[in-house]
């Protein structure tokens, strides 16, 4: 489950379930088009919303996210946790981008 230190600094090692979910998600979408990939995933998992221009640019990824049946419970919980912690959230989003765009 989610652990955090007193300074609320994002560290992927403190949430192994989130890290595993992200790695599984990345394996499933690796061969999909790159267009807005990280932005779409982050926006969807953070707010359950995706910009129309992103939908048009990468419909395959959007369809997968909406109907893919993957587990994102821990990723979404971490977004809920850091909703009011801007620095933590920024670091978390950078980590997601690093994994998805590697």
The domain total for the chain is 1
What whole-number distance in Å separates Cα of residue 74 and Cα of residue 28? 17
Of residues 55, 61, 63, the one with CA closest to residue 30: 61
pLDDT confidence of residue 102: 83
Residue 72 domain-assigned (yes or no): yes
pLDDT at 6 over 70: no
Per residue in 35-88, pLDDT tens?
A: 999 999 999 999 999 999 999 999 999 999 999 889 999 999 999 999 999 999
| Residues sharing a CB contact under 8 Å with residue 29, sequence separation 6 or more, in sequence order | 37, 41, 61, 64, 100
Per residue in 12-36, pLDDT tens?
A: 999 999 999 999 999 999 999 999 9
Residue 1 domain-assigned (yes or no): no
Residues 2, 77 contacting (CB under 8 angstroms) = yes
pLDDT confidence of residue 5: 52
Range(s) of the domain holding residue 26: 13-100
Residue 66 domain-assigned (yes or no): yes
What whole-number distance in Å separates Cα of residue 78 and Cα of residue 4? 10
């Amino acid at each position: 489950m989610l652990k955090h230190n007193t300074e609320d600094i994002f560290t992927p090692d403190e949430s192994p379930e989130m890290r595993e979910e992200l790695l599984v998600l990345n394996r499933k979408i690796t061969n999909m088009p790159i267009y807005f990939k990280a932005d779409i995933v982050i926006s969807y998992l953070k707010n359950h919303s995706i910009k129309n221009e992103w939908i048009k640019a990468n419909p395959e990824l959007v369809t997968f996210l909406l109907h893919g049946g993957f587990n994102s419970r821990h990723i979404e919980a971490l977004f809920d946790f850091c909703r009011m912690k801007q620095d933590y959230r920024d670091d978390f989003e950078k980590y997601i981008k690093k994994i998805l765009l590697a």
